[in-house]
């Protein structure tokens, strides 16, 4: 089985043992190139570039007319640039030393939970337990265990009977640390903020939060490989480097599963969607948890991801098919975008993910809409648009939290105006 995005040479260069407390995989002097793909021919050639250059694509390859980020080791800088010039692909080096950036966005003081640095799973879970013990309106459950036996925790905030619920999901992709950081920021605002509007939202709506869907992968990004995306179940395949691990769990939901997506059928690739839908214990636990609530109770499902600054709506499997209430959902997403931009100027593009981003099947938001009939679902792709990408410095966590909080307030109010919670 081939490994098209991360070749043996790259694996060998980054997998050397490191000092205690440091990731085993290192990317010293690896560059991140941002490529502007303007034509279909350039895209076809880009998809074949791994045949002679070791590259690691950070984005799923879709259509022309988009920018794509790739990681390339120092041995291949010159070869890549020569090839890009030959193909007339415009490029920019946006990160000159990836390891330096990874070090700058690594976990800092992990002694207690705050939102100035990234944290380990233990610190995040300890904070959840502390908040649950301190507030009787919080109901906290373990909704299941991961493949490696780690808890998947949930928090339900309910201050008043009869409320409709909003569901927040985080860190289904291991490397997207800003996801769980933002979801816990929002949860902290709902619990502890003195802002009257946040207090009102915590009174008038129930909030159900699963901040860490992929605990195994998340721990792996802290201890072994910062670029890991999937969960950690051995998937039964091998390649030249050994056993292949993991499923992209946001490609594993049983709604138009397997219909489209970059390399979703490559078991050793980052975007492998599984041999069939609903194969992962983490996904089954999440689905069972959502299904444990009565129909019509959860009225919004929001999954938080990185990166790109989008509010992605159903559907992902098509760029020609749209939900019956698509125009309504766009108005709600527009409210988020406008309010978030007011804080720091971050612009969030909104619309169907298959139309705006790329066509891909098996995502949580589509399952929540298409199977569970939740009337407003979305994937919020957080900062930034590619300068830092998955390695957003920790000094931006609070800013992201504040702009998303503003967006969330406006989104919920617009959704109420549109009758979503009726």
Find, among 191, 177, 199, the residue nearest to 120 by Cα: 177
116 is catalytic: no
Q: What value, to the nearest 5°, has the Cα angle with vertex 306 and ends 329 and 139?
A: 75
| Whole-number Å distance between alpha carbons of 74 and 82 | 14
Q: How far apart are the first and last CA of the chain?
A: 51
Q: Which residue has the tokens 């992990």?
A: 110
Neighbouring C-beta atoms of residue 180, cutoff 10 Å: 25
CB 59 within 8 A of CB 307: no
Catalytic residue among 131, 266, 381, 403: 381
CA distance 405 to 304: 13
* Cα 88 from Cα 80, distance rounded (Å): 12
Taking the C-alpha atoms of residue 166 and residue 419, their distance in angstroms, rounded to an integer, is 14
**Cβ contacts of 238 within 8 Å, gap of 6 or more:** 1, 244
List of residues 6+ apart from 205 with CB closer than 8 A: 163, 164, 165, 166, 412, 421
By the 10 Å C-beta count (0-12 exposed, 13-18 middle, 19+ buried), 405 is classed as buried
Residue 76 carries which DSSP code? G
Residue with tokens 């490559």: 266
Instruction: List active site positions.
Output: 381
């Amino acid at each position: 089985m081939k490994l098209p995005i991360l070749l043996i040479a790259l694996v060998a260069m980054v997998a050397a043992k490191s000092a205690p407390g440091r990731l085993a995989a290192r990317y010293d002097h690896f560059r991140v190139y941002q490529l502007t793909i303007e034509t279909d021919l350039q895209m076809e050639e880009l998809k074949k570039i791994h045949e002679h250059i070791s590259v690691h694509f950070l984005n799923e390859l879709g259509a022309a007319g988009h920018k794509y980020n790739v990681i390339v080791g120092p041995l291949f800088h010159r070869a890549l640039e020569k090839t890009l010039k030959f193909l007339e692909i415009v490029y920019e080096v946006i990160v000159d030393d990836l390891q330096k950036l990874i070090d700058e966005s690594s976990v800092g003081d992990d002694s207690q939970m705050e939102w100035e640095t990234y944290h380990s799973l233990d610190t995040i879970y300890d904070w959840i337990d502390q908040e649950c013990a301190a507030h009787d309106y919080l109901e906290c459950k373990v909704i299941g265990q991961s493949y490696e036996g780690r808890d998947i925790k949930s928090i339900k905030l309910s201050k008043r009977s009869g409320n409709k619920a909003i569901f927040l999901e985080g860190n289904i992709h291991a490397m997207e640390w800003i996801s769980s950081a933002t979801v816990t920021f929002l949860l902290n605002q709902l619990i502890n903020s003195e802002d009257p509007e946040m207090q009102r939202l915590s009174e008038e709506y129930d909030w159900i939060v699963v901040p860490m869907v992929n605990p195994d992968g998340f721990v792996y990004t802290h201890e072994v490989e910062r670029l890991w995306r999937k969960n950690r179940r051995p998937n039964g395949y091998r390649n030249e480097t050994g056993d292949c691990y993991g499923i992209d769990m946001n490609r594993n939901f049983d709604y138009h599963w397997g219909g489209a997506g970059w390399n979703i059928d490559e078991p050793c690739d980052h975007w492998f969607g599984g041999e069939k839908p609903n194969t992962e214990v983490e996904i089954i636990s999440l689905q069972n948890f959502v299904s444990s609530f009565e129909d019509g109770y959860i009225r919004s499902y929001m999954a938080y991801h990185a990166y790109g600054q989008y509010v992605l709506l159903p559907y992902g499997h098509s760029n020609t098919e749209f939900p019956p209430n698509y125009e309504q959902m766009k108005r709600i997403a527009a409210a988020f975008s406008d309010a978030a931009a007011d804080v720091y100027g971050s612009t969030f593009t909104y619309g169907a993910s298959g139309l705006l981003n790329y066509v891909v099947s098996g995502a949580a938001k589509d399952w929540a809409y298409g199977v569970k009939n939740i009337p407003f679902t979305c994937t919020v792709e957080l900062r930034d648009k590619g300068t830092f990408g998955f390695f957003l410095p920790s000094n931006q966590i609070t800013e992201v939290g504040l702009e998303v909080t503003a967006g969330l307030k406006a989104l919920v109010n617009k959704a109420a105006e549109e009758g979503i919670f009726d």
